[in-house]
Structure 1
Amino acid sequence: MKHFVEEYPLQIKKAIEIGNSAVFTQTEKKINNVVIAGLGGSGIGGTIAAGYLYNKIKVPVVVVKDYHIPEFVNEKTLFIASSYSGNTEETLEALAQAKKKKAEIVCITSGGKLLKKAREKGFNHIAIPKDYPPRAAFGYSFPQVLYVIHKYGLISKKFEKQLLESAEYLEKNTQEIKKNAMELANFLFEKIPVLYIASRFEGVAVRFRQQLNENSKMLAWHHAIPEMNHNELVGWRKKNNELAVVFFHTPEDYFRVTKRMEINKKIISEYTSNITDIYAKGDNYLACANYLVHLTDYTSVFLAELKNIDAVEVDVITYLKSELSKI
């Protein structure tokens, strides 16, 4: 898994080439909303993209991680089906529903049933490289969500320069990132990670939690601030040094969210002595998100090494899918 993490900046650069080379059939439909369907390593790209789009796009964006799509989906919906394998049953079922509602459909995949359907039905689609664990192809799949939305005229292409610059920064600062990732891994080793982050960047925390689950074979939880201050904060009542809290910070954070984090740390420090801060590098959303994703991906792999386990193995998911296939 480590070599997949190491190539993340290169994946972003190649993703830019793939996005630019994709040719779409133009539509005369006026897009009124965007729905991004995907799960796991494929779905998290939609979540993080939604954070970027929050103050960039003038139509609603909804991320679906389920079998069913919203009732509002219609012929003016841009429906993006993202499944790395192309065989994710929830995404395929959601796609069938979107087709019935005559949505404008685009597929992002490396193959499988989804690519076959896209070709048979004439859906616009972007094919990305095969033979990766889905979560390890994030650098290929995530940028394609932005390219799709750009190709429909809903956002500018400003994101491309930011993606490229962030990839170059990650390449130039690999050793520092790995050093910080190892420090974070040592901090979290044999602990239960608790991750806190500003709401707009919640997708980054979700990504880290998923990587801890799959690569490090650990349970973890996350919450977003300020919402966490209206509920979970009250749950901190009992001393527990098995909990290790990570506060993620970015230059994009609203100043009152930053102050909330300071107060939260003061409160939580009464109940665990394990609290640390991680600061993103970058001057825009994509730079910060890519930095944190890369650092925490490394952390999840380093934790697997500390635990002497296989970061790639996900046998229980394979078993679950096998059982579901019998239905």
Structure 2
Amino acid sequence: MLRVVAGAGAQMREAAVAAADAGVKRLSDEGRPRAVVVAGIGGSGISGDVLAAVAGPTCPVPVVVHRGYDLPMWVGAADVVIGVSCSGTTEETLSAVEQAAHLGCAVVGVGAADSPLADLVGRSRGIHVPVPAGRMPRASLWALSVPLLLAGEALDILTLGGSDIDAAADRLDEIAERCRPTSEAFVNPAKQLAIELGGSLPVVWGSSDLAGVAAYRLACQLAENAKYPAISGVLPEANHNQVVMFDGRYGKGEPPGEAAGSDTAADAEGAAFFRDQLDDPVTERLRLVILRDSVEHPRVARRREASRELAEDRGIEVSELTAEGDAPLERLASLIGLPDFASVYLALLAGIDPTPIAPIVELKTRILT
């Protein structure tokens, strides 16, 4: 897995070539659609989040990521539907793309060559971009995402500067050098982050919608690579719900007290009952992980600062990573590249093989019967 993570920059460049060879630029003939719907699940579906994040708030049409079987009823011939499935066999994605073809939508596919998805898109006279075989979806993020970005540019919903992909790929190369396995932990930021995360309950917040995609990605990578729980969120939303965890059992780490605001005998009795059930000491504490975008709303920047202060006042440790680069794609790549390494290092730190995803395989087997 480390070898694949280290090759993210090369993967980005190769994906740009594959998209060009597949004729993604021909989508410009379609004109700007009413909406772009990205149908995908798991490590494939996040490519749609990447498209939406890079397109940003100035995107002239909605970019909707659809993670399910049936398309929304509003989807029609004025829309473009992009099916993304690394294996080309994901049943939810195939269902959505088949419906899109029947509705007369322009259809694009990104996934394995000679797969059911490739066949379906071909029969629908759409464009299919093949991705290399042998990598899991989570290890193919840029192979799946870059074709979507180039499709978005052809559809006139975003603008990629001529050097944006090169700059992002170079940034990933630079991160790979800093985070290489032979680099000692005290100079390796990914190993440092893995050590910080170990033994904690990570709460990962992005300080913009773009950084929120990176936060979600880190939580998913921790789950799949390190088999480790994490919660992701984005500011300002997380300040209206998740922040209250700071005063809970895994935040302050204090024994449960009287129920706040209790004003009835029933409340008091309930608090006493649960206090008896929660006498065991907490061994893991929250750790706030802030993924800080260099482009933030001024009020969100203040919220980020205040969130850190609140956490530290309660004894909650904080890790913070700041986006590097100027263009959205490079900033996003910088917030994904280093945490991807950290998720693998955390697995190795715990003696866990980061590659297997046995519960996913078992679940798929069970629903076939």
TM-score by length of 1: 0.94
Unaligned residue ranges in structure 2 (runs of 5+): 181-187, 254-283
Q: When the two structures are aligned, how many residues end up with a matched partner?
A: 325
Alpha-carbon distance, 1:173 to partner: 4.6
Check the 8 A contact 2:32/2:155 in 1, yes or no: no
Task: Name the CA distance, whole Å, in 2 between partners of 1:167 and 1:181.
Answer: 18
Task: Name the CA distance, whole Å, in 1 between partners of 2:172 and 2:160.
Answer: 21
Match of 1:190 in 2: 199
Match of 1:310 in 2: 353
Match of 2:235 in 1: 225
Check the 8 A contact 1:51/1:200 in 2, yes or no: yes
Q: Relative to structure 2, which stretch is displaced further, 147-156 or 101-110?
A: 147-156
Establish whether residue 18 from structure 1 lines up as the match of residue 18 from structure 2: yes
Match of 2:146 in 1: 143
Which one of 325, 335, 347 corresponds to residue 292 of structure 1?
335
Which one of 30, 34, 40 corresponds to residue 42 of structure 2?
40
Establish whether residue 77 from structure 1 lines up as the match of residue 102 from structure 2: no
Distance 1:116 1:246, change over 3 A: same
Unaligned residue ranges in structure 1 (runs of 5+): none
Which one of 81, 85, 88 corresponds to residue 90 of structure 2?
88
Check the 8 A contact 2:89/2:116 in 1, yes or no: yes
Check the 8 A contact 2:101/2:124 in 1, yes or no: no
Deviation track 1:230-288 (CA, whole Å, cap 9, x = no partner) reads 22223421313521111111211222211111111111223343212111211121111
Task: Name the CA distance, whole Å, in 2 between partners of 1:217 and 1:115.
Answer: 32
Match of 1:213 in 2: 223
Deviation track 1:277-301 (CA, whole Å, cap 9, x = no partner) reads 1112111211111011110110000
Distance 1:28 1:155, change over 3 A: same
Distance 1:280 1:156, change over 3 A: closer
Task: Within 5 Å, give how 1:271-286 maps onto structure 2.
Answer: 271-286=314-329
Match of 1:105 in 2: 107
Which one of 251, 276, 298 corresponds to residue 255 of structure 1?
298
Check the 8 A contact 1:30/1:76 in 2, yes or no: no
Match of 1:155 in 2: 158
Alpha-carbon distance, 1:122 to partner: 2.2
Alpha-carbon distance, 1:146 to partner: 0.9
Task: Name the CA distance, whole Å, in 1 between partners of 2:311 and 2:146.
Answer: 36
Check the 8 A contact 2:312/2:318 in 1, yes or no: yes
Task: Name the CA distance, whole Å, in 1 between partners of 2:111 and 2:138.
Answer: 13
Check the 8 A contact 1:11/1:140 in 2, yes or no: yes
SS in 2 for 1:193: strand
- Percent of aligned pairs with the same amino acid: 28
Alpha-carbon distance, 1:123 to partner: 1.8
Check the 8 A contact 1:243/1:272 in 2, yes or no: no
Match of 1:126 in 2: 129
Match of 2:257 in 1: none
Deviation track 1:119-155 (CA, whole Å, cap 9, x = no partner) reads 2332211111111111101121111111112223333
Task: Name the CA distance, whole Å, in 2 between partners of 1:87 and 1:272.
Answer: 47
Task: Name the CA distance, whole Å, in 2 between partners of 1:157 and 1:289.
Answer: 14
Task: Name the CA distance, whole Å, in 1 between partners of 2:150 and 2:322.
Answer: 28
Distance 1:40 1:272, change over 3 A: farther
Task: Within 5 Å, give how 1:40-79 maps onto structure 2.
Answer: 40-79=42-81
Check the 8 A contact 2:175/2:338 in 1, yes or no: no
TM-score by length of 2: 0.84
Q: State the structure with more CA Rg.
A: 2
